[in-house]
Structure 1
Amino acid sequence: MVGVNGNKVGHLFENISSFVRQCIFSVLNVGPVPSHIAFIMDGNRRYSKKQNLIDGNGHRAGFSALINMLKYCYELGVKYITVYAFSIDNFKRRPEEVVSLMKLMQEKIDELTKEESIVNRLGIRIYFQGNLKLLSDHVRSAAERAMVKTSGNSKAILSICVAYTSTDEIVHAVQESCEEKWDEIRKNNDGGNLIRLEENVKDKDEHRIGVTNVDRHMYMSVCPDPDIIIRTSGAARLSNFLLWQSAHCLLYSPAALWPEIGLRHLIWVILDFQRNYLYLKEKKKQS
């Protein structure tokens, strides 16, 4: 009987919380709502130490925070959500820690793709962005399965950056752009005389690589540039995350560690975004 009553109280609390969120989001939707919010999920290990948790439980708490933030962003009407889950630099941590994180990542990826998961209930499509060749075979396979399984979802997009740094993304995009342009040159000249092309200034201009070429080959080309980047734990740095895409976005660094992030932090940054919306919009026009 106690368990039944506890479930009823839990459902009642969730219904009340959902109603309150709907009221708040209805007010926020009167103003501009960001299309894309990106998160640097910083502070899982510090949270674990702070709460005296065993290894891995800080990241498990962080996963719960991610699920809640996904739900809040979806209810607010944010179309694109991006999270920085694992940097290439994180591979430099202790080998046993990396192995533990990879196992946890595989577990949570599989959890995300279950039929009853929040991702499928809300119709969220998942992309994994980064140098996926650096991942273990099991994690890479899990990521590939997740992208296939959610490919039919279209209501929102979750980009999970793993084995990622922005400098690696930029180098990758430049390399892809060079290869594409070289193939184009060879096709246009039928593999023939490239000296003639060098002598023709007009042709040289036509075959230069520009910003649009690099943009198209970015890992993050499936999303518009972020409107807001949120980094938890109070650190005011991007840590090699979305450097190419963040020229005109709002940066927010709450003191809360990632597992501690909640609805109030999201509401605050949305209000700040709306307050600065015209200024940010003007800056984008000038670029």
Structure 2
Amino acid sequence: MDEDSRQRVVGWLFGSLLRHLRSLLFRVLSVGVIPKHIAFILDGNRRYSRKMKIPETVGYRAAFLALVCVICYCYELGVKYVTIYAFSIDNFKRRPDEIEFLMDLMLTKLEALLKYQNALDEYGVRIHFVGNLHLLDSRIQAAAGKVMEATKKNSNFTLLVCLVYTSTNEIVHAAEECCKEKKKLMNGTAAGGAAAAAAEERVITVVDLEKHMFMGLAPEVDILVRTSGETRLSNFLLWQTSSCLLYSPGALFPEIGLRHLVWAVLKFQRAHPYLQKRRIMVS
């Protein structure tokens, strides 16, 4: 056996051992409550580039690889929903060259997802994009629409990607849709004046708002992870995180790994009784 073949065999054995150990670890974690929904604020990509003295483009690619690993870990653990804050509306204030790179990277990854649709279907992965997608380049809008359409029937795992998103924009959007719905009922003629009177008395409720939220297809967030040690929410899922665990590891996002996810889940399991009590009180 030559040196290359020997290295491949060693690599395969090492990878197999790591997968087995990870499986055992997740079985131990499964004795406790597994979170249904974990959200991530991908913070620290540019700081990582400066720290490693590499171009920002390389830092963003490293962040993407870290993101793929974390999503896979969540899937293996049994988490049903993962939400990532990929691009805020406020990010349009960044340098034009940085925005252009991020848009190109986004389009490349969307096109790659379409190529690997069979794998997504095999694992039952649904991908849903959240936010004001009409603010994106038409090519990205089209690609995102194709990905959502291609995976909408999958139900084992849902990945929600917040693009051109802010929570205040989501809440305003929901309120506007509720008002349109009420106006439509008031203008209805099916039941005559009685329908208009009933609609006029109708108030906008929490249930009405949640029905029109961009994030309406996912349950409340159980764990919100923001890397780089920051504790700000930055206008992300303000409505959905009122009773969740906030976890802020010091690692920059490209540095995030299995140990951070495990620690977040352990902290959630410890706090779960209190969080459940809070949710009951709020509801």
TM interval, shorter chain, is over 0.9
- 1:85 and 2:86 equivalent? yes
What is the aligned partner in structure 2 of residue 124 from structure 1?
125
Contact 1:113 1:120 in 2 (8 A): no
Greater alpha carbon shift after TM alignment, 113-122 vs 50-59: 113-122
Post-superposition Cα deviations, 1:222-246, rounded to whole Å, max 9, x if no partner, equal 1001000000010001000000111
- 1:279 and 2:274 equivalent? yes
Count of residues paired in the alignment:
281
Shift of 1:204: 4.4
CA distance in 2, matches of 1:18, 1:67: 16
- 1:248 and 2:243 equivalent? yes
Matches within 5 A, 1:32-111: 32-111=33-112
State the secondary structure of the residue aligned to 2:98.
Answer: helix
CA distance in 2, matches of 1:265, 1:235: 15
- 1:229 and 2:224 equivalent? yes
Unaligned segments of structure 2, at least 5 residues: none
Return closer, same or farther for 1:5/1:165 CA change in 2, 3 Å cut-off: same
What is the aligned partner in structure 2 of residue 218 from structure 1?
213
Contact 2:185 2:199 in 1 (8 A): no
What is the aligned partner in structure 1 of residue 9 from structure 2?
8
Shift of 1:96: 1.5
State the secondary structure of the residue aligned to 1:164.
Answer: coil
2:263 aligned to which of 261, 265, 268: 268
Post-superposition, which runs of at least 4 consecutive aligned residues in structure 1 deviate over 3 A? 116-121, 188-194, 202-205
State the secondary structure of the residue aligned to 2:54.
Answer: coil
Matches within 5 A, 1:190-209: 197=197, 204-205=200-201, 207-209=202-204
Return closer, same or farther for 1:113/1:162 CA change in 2, 3 Å cut-off: same
Shift of 1:142: 1.5
What is the aligned partner in structure 1 of residue 234 from structure 2?
239
Shift of 1:203: 6.0
CA distance in 2, matches of 1:20, 1:286: 39
Contact 2:83 2:162 in 1 (8 A): yes
Shift of 1:13: 1.6
Shift of 1:159: 0.1
CA distance in 1, matches of 2:119, 2:221: 23
What is the aligned partner in structure 2 of residue 17 from structure 1?
18
Contact 2:128 2:159 in 1 (8 A): yes
CA distance in 1, matches of 2:273, 2:189: 45
Shift of 1:266: 0.7
Contact 1:112 1:118 in 2 (8 A): no
What is the aligned partner in structure 2 of residue 26 from structure 1?
27
What is the aligned partner in structure 2 of residue 172 from structure 1?
173
Task: State the AA in 1 paired with 2:24.
Answer: C
Unaligned segments of structure 1, at least 5 residues: none
CA distance in 2, matches of 1:70, 1:8: 27
What is the aligned partner in structure 2 of residue 157 from structure 1?
158
State the secondary structure of the residue aligned to 1:229.
Answer: strand
Post-superposition Cα deviations, 1:108-153, rounded to whole Å, max 9, x if no partner, equal 2222333278645532110000000111112111211111222232
Return closer, same or farther for 1:245/1:27 CA change in 2, 3 Å cut-off: same
Return closer, same or farther for 1:281/1:104 CA change in 2, 3 Å cut-off: same
- 1:258 and 2:258 equivalent? no
CA distance in 2, matches of 1:203, 1:143: 36
State the secondary structure of the residue aligned to 1:222.
Answer: coil
Shift of 1:14: 1.5
State the secondary structure of the residue aligned to 2:126.
Answer: strand
CA distance in 2, matches of 1:61, 1:270: 24
RMSD (Å) for aligned C-alpha atoms: 1.9
Shift of 1:55: 3.3
Greater alpha carbon shift after TM alignment, 263-272 vs 119-128: 119-128
